[in-house]
Amino acid sequence: MRRRASEGPGDCAVCGRVVLPGEPVHHFVEPSRGSRQRVVCPLCHRRAAAQGWVRTGGSRDHLDRSAPAA
């Protein structure tokens, strides 16, 4: 069964975990794969940055005050 776009932001591009509706997400682009925006869960945002992914100015579902400003 396919998930509707309105049900949640999708899967984390780093770990593959399903991101739940209302859960904070971070938006990145992976420079080596073009400018496609990727959704990253709050558990993986540091790992994405360490891999060279660039955080975009895209909004998050909720403000994550523990994350450093990009």
Q: Per residue in 1-23, pLDDT tens?
A: 444 444 567 899 999 999 988 89
Residue 45 and residue 67 in contact, taking contact as beta carbons nearer than 8 Å: yes
Per-domain residue ranges of the chain:
7-55
Q: Per-residue pLDDT averaged across 57-70, rounded? A: 47
DSSP 2: P
- Residue given tokens 């925006």 in the structure block: 37
**pLDDT at residue 64 greater than cutoff 90:** no
Amino acid 64 reads D
Instruction: Specify the higher pLDDT residue, 23 or 69.
Output: 23
Instruction: Render pLDDT for 20-63 as a digit per residue (tens, 0 to 9).
Output: 888 999 999 988 877 788 999 999 999 999 999 999 975 455 43
Task: Write the Ramachandran bin of 10: left for phi over 0, alpha for psi from -120 to 50, otherwise beta.
Answer: left
**61 CB burial (10 A radius; 0-12, 13-18, 19+):** middle
